């Protein structure tokens, strides 16, 4: 079962105490983990997706030509012209300058110390790693200018070089998008010329042992924090139901002479998860197409969902792109029972009138007292750089406090790494049953999307623990993220204004800023750098820790100050004249409406439940689903 949950905001409120980010108890004091021996961890990673660079983009061309040609203004739709930085809420792709500017903005604004938010002598990285979930090439939607293989390869080469130039000493984990290949959506099983090409393009970002799997199928795994944290990069095109070159993950049979590419990838993924669990490591999974019932072949969707939920204590995050929207999802195991009437009334989520689908699924999420957390998971969908809506990127933070492993380590009863492939298929796909097997009754009467119930091989345990980083704030637990959006309409208007008043040279000096759209953190966590200012009248009342270094910096100080300037504020805090209580200034409250302590499973599910209980939150959710671009364009 999948619940499609869009990120929104929480009720504005006074400051709540943020729990210190320690894994080994309230006052753990273990030394920081180093980053490759040349600095301490920043506790941040970047997710960037769907850049869609278009070298044919032509400023001031007609938008109806996908920003490629100068259709006369008087013709149908010809009056809408392409902007300098790109064209928001359109079918046009990204001019190279938008990609270059976006990465330059990241470099210039995030290359700061994690401890203080300002430049220091302490060696740190702006990010500990970067996840990049594909789609570098433009869409093939201009019948007068069809894509060529040379152009697609050039676009992939352009973006990888741009990423390397921006993050020269930071692990980059790339991924294949459905527009990064010659035949849109269609990718045959490897080895192929296409998979070999990706292996060559990515060679500087692949461990030696990963070359083989990239050539085989475009997927691989990579340690980003040695012996602690890894990223599995999936080729989701082999699961994608628009890829007609694959068979949809059928289970393997002994007499098969060929095995479906999706099935092979699932087998590999199961073994990789088992290998990382044996090493006592945590894993982020990334892919381009998100694992929804509307995107994946049914068998691929079913097997993928069950597999990730069975490794709940090993998977600390799942991140995807493709849909250009800002959302998160809650996954539910098919082992959770639903009433027969619910199955008959089941439906599959669609993109049509998506807000109604989202609201419905938020409302039917089981309450905290009834939910068995072992059977649930979450994954996140990040909006894109390409201005389908407004360009956006996401910066995550995570717990870097080293401590003893908070997950009880258990000797594996099942060795997936060496298991016979047919036994592994029994685990992954099982056999279809006439009646649901191994169900966990939840006492609900709401509808659920239909899922195949299968008699699964019971040799594979359900690896779930309330003490794992996905469920308890401990070492490597995601703490939250900040979402950054470029109002491309305003940037284009400013460029045109300066161009007319002072000329092109002056306009070309402009550097539009990505702005803070929202964060998932509590207000006291986001603004604690100002709380540490002892000269501020609210400092004593709001002080919540003794040492500023005990807390991570979700957003650098310079960017926070810029956000204050947007509202002509000198401080994020205001002391009420009526009750004397210090609170976050009213114009700033929307940015911390989520106000979650961390991004553990329970916190995310609680956030989902709150979305439908407050109309203000719901309205904000709908706007943020499209990076606020739809509201601004009206």
Find all residues with CB under 8 Å of 450, minimum gap 6, and list them. Answer: 343, 346, 348
pLDDT band at 311 (very low <50, low <70, confident <90, very high): very high
Confidence of residue 538 (pLDDT cuts 50, 70, 90): low
Predicted pLDDT of residue 445: 34
pLDDT, residue 453, reads 47
Residue 115 scores a pLDDT above 80: no
Least confident piece of the model among 174-183, 445-454, 536-545: 445-454
- What's the confidence (pLDDT) of residue 71? 78
Q: Residue 184: which pLDDT band, with cuts at 50, 70 and 90? A: very high
Q: For residue 142, what pLDDT band results from cuts at 50, 70 and 90?
A: very high
Average pLDDT, the chain: 83
* pLDDT on residue 337: 45
Residue 219 CA to residue 236 CA, distance in Å, equals 9
- Mean pLDDT value of segment 544-551: 50
What gap in Å lies between CA 555 and CA 542, rounded to an integer?
A: 19
Predicted confidence at residue 563, as pLDDT, reads 97
Of 118-122, 223-227, 350-354, the range with the highest mean pLDDT is 223-227
What percent of the chain has pLDDT above 90? 64
Q: Quick: pLDDT tens for 454-511.
A: 544 455 678 999 999 999 999 999 999 999 999 999 999 999 999 999 999 999 999 9
346 pLDDT more than 90: no
Average pLDDT over residues 145-152: 97
With bands split at pLDDT 50, 70 and 90, how would you rate the model's confidence at 528? confident
Q: How far apart are alpha carbons 269 and 213 in whole angstroms?
A: 11
Tokens coding 148? 């060529």
What average pLDDT does range 291-318 have in this prediction?
95
Q: Is the pLDDT of residue 310 over 60?
A: yes
Which pLDDT belongs to residue 493?
97
**Model confidence over 333-342: pLDDT tens digits?**
887 744 333 4
Predicted confidence (pLDDT) at residue 629 exceeds the cutoff of 50: yes
How far apart are alpha carbons 93 and 70 in whole angstroms?
A: 16
d(CA 247, CA 239): 9
pLDDT of residue 582: 83
Q: Which carries the bigger pLDDT value, residue 347 or residue 253?
A: 253
Q: Is the pLDDT of residue 545 over 50?
A: no
Distance CA 95, CA 142 (A): 15
The predicted structure's pLDDT at residue 38: 58
- Where in the chain are the domains? 2-57+93-483
The CA distance from 427 to 13, in Å, is 47
Which residues, listed in sequence order, are joined to residue 232 by a DSSP beta bridge?
A: 221, 285
Identify the sign of the CA torsion 425, 219, 349, 441.
positive
Grade residue 438 by pLDDT with cuts at 50, 70 and 90. very low
**Per-residue pLDDT band at 2 (split at 50, 70, 90):** low
The 8-class DSSP code of residue 394 comes to E
Could you report how far apart the first and last alpha carbons of the chain are, in Å?
A: 35
- Place 398 in a pLDDT band, splitting at 50, 70 and 90: very high
Determine the Cα angle at 212 with ends 207 and 218, to 5°.
Answer: 90
Residue 533 scores a pLDDT above 70 = no
For residue 557 the two structure tokens come to: 């100080």
Q: Is 64 helix (H, G, I), strand (E, B) or coil?
A: helix
Mean pLDDT of 437-463: 50
Residue 362: pLDDT band by 50, 70, 90 thresholds? confident
Return the top range by mean pLDDT from 3-17, 60-74, 189-203, 582-596: 189-203
**Residue 542, pLDDT score:** 46
Q: Does the pLDDT at position 441 exceed 70?
A: no
Percent of the chain predicted with pLDDT > 70: 77
Is residue 168's pLDDT more than 50?
A: yes
DSSP 8-state secondary structure symbol assigned to residue 550: G
Confidence of residue 112 (pLDDT cuts 50, 70, 90): confident
Mean pLDDT over residues 186-202, rounded? 97
Residue 312: pLDDT over 90: yes
71 vs 115: which has the higher pLDDT: 71
Q: Name the fold adopted by 2-57+93-483.
A: Purple Acid Phosphatase; chain A, domain 2 (3.60.21)
Q: What pLDDT sits at residue 461?
A: 79
Question: 172-173 and 129-132 as β-strands: parallel, antiparallel, unpaired?
Answer: parallel
CB 309 within 8 A of CB 331: yes
């Amino acid at each position: 079962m999948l619940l499609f949950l869009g990120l929104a905001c929480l009720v504005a409120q006074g400051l709540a105490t943020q729990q210190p980010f320690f894994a080994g108890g309230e006052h753990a004091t273990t030394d920081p983990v180093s980053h490759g021996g040349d600095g301490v961890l920043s506790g941040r990673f970047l997710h960037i997706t769907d850049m869609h660079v278009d070298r044919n983009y032509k400023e001031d061309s007609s938008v109806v030509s996908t920003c490629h040609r100068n259709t006369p203004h008087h013709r149908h739709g010809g009056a809408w012209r392409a902007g300098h930085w790109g064209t928001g809420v359109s079918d046009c792709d990204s001019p190279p300058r938008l990609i270059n500017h976006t990465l330059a903005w990241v470099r210039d604004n995030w290359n700061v110390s994690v401890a203080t938010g300002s430049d220091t002598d302490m060696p740190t990285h702006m990010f500990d790693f970067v996840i990049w979930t594909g789609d570098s090439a433009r869409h093939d939607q201009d019948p007068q200018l069809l894509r060529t293989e040379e152009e697609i390869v050039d676009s992939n080469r352009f973006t990888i070089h741009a990423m390397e130039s921006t993050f020269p000493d930071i692990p980059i984990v790339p991924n294949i998008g459905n527009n990064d290949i010659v035949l849109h959506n269609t990718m045959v099983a490897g080895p192929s010329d296409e998979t070999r090409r990706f292996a060559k393009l990515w060679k500087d970002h692949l461990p030696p042992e990963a070359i083989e799997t990239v050539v085989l199928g475009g997927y691989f795994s990579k340690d980003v924090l040695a012996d602690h944290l890894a990223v599995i990069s999936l080729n989701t095109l082999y699961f994608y139901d628009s890829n007609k070159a694959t068979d949809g993950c059928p289970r393997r049979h002994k007499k098969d002479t060929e095995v479906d590419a999706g099935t092979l990838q699932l087998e590999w993924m199961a073994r990789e998860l088992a290998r990382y669990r044996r090493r006592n490591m945590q894993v982020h999974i990334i892919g381009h197409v998100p694992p929804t019932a509307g995107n994946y072949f049914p068998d691929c969707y079913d097997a993928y969902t069950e597999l990730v939920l069975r490794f709940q204590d090993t998977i600390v995050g799942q991140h995807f792109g493709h849909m250009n929207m800002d959302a998160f999802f809650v996954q539910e195991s098919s082992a959770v029972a639903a009433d027969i009437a619910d199955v008959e009334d089941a439906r599959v989520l669609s993109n049509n009138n998506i807000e109604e689908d989202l609201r419905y699924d938020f409302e039917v999420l089981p309450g905290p007292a009834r939910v068995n957390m072992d059977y649930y998971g979450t994954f996140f969908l990040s909006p894109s750089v390409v201005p389908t809506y407004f360009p956006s990127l996401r910066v995550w933070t995570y717990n870097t406090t080293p401590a003893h492993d908070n997950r009880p380590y258990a000797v594996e009863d099942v060795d997936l790494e060496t298991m016979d492939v047919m036994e592994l298929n029994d685990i992954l796909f099982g056999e279809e049953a006439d009646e649901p097997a191994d169900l966990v009754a939840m006492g609900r009467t709401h509808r659920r999307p239909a899922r195949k119930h299968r008699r699964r091989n019971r040799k594979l345990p359900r690896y779930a623990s309330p003490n794992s980083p996905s469920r308890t704030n401990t070492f490597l637990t995601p703490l939250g993220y900040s979402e950054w959006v470029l109002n491309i309409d305003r940037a284009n208007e400013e460029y045109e204004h300066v161009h007319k008043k002072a000329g092109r040279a002056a306009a070309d000096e402009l550097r539009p800023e990505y702005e803070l759209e929202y964060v998932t953190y509590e207000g006291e966590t986001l603004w604690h750098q100002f709380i540490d200012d002892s000269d501020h009248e609210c400092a004593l009342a709001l002080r919540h820790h003794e040492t500023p270094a005990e807390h991570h910096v979700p957003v650098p100080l310079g960017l926070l100050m810029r956000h204050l300037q947007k509202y002509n504020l000198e401080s994020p805090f205001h002391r009420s004249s009526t009750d004397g209580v210090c609170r976050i200034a009213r114009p700033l409250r929307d940015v911390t409406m989520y106000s979650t302590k961390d991004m553990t499973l329970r916190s995310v599910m609680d956030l989902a439940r709150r979305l439908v209980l407050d109309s203000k939150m719901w309205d904000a959710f709908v706007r943020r689903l499209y990076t606020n671009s739809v509201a601004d364009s009206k």
